[in-house]
Amino acid sequence: MQKITCPKCAKQFIWTDDNPPGGKCPTTNCDWYYDVRKEIGKSLEKRAGESSRAAFSCPGCGAALASRWSRCKSCGAWIMASRPWKKSHLIFIAVLVLVILAFFYRYLS
């Protein structure tokens, strides 16, 4: 099954395995001929482009990352939402959380 978009009438139609590998656009007044192998090639290219765009890279050193939330293997920076976090930032956040917890503990007891 392959979704084909006609460049002439801009209509989309579904090609199934029962259809011939090449043929006329199903739109009545349209004389465009499709070649399903070309269309499959086009959609594969499109998919490859999308997956390369989805890959993340370390903003610090440019190394490829497995996900948006991970630690860079080459420079050791923590990447959170594609932003590098220095260790000092993490310590600052940890201290902040402790201060807030201490405040609540005091307030509640």
Binding site residues, Zn ion, CB under 5 A: 6, 8-9, 25, 27, 30, 32, 58, 60-61, 63, 72, 74-75
* Distance in angstroms (rounded) separating the CA atoms of residues 50 and 87: 33
* Distance in angstroms (rounded) separating the CA atoms of residues 109 and 97: 18
Question: Closest distance between Zn ion and the C-beta of residue 17, in Å?
Answer: 21
Q: Which is nearer to Zn ion, 47 or 83 (CB)?
A: 83
Question: Closest distance between Zn ion and the C-beta of residue 103, in Å?
Answer: 35
Backbone conformation region of residue 30, classed left if phi is above 0, alpha if psi is from -120 to 50, else beta: beta
Question: Closest distance between Zn ion and the C-beta of residue 78, in Å?
Answer: 10
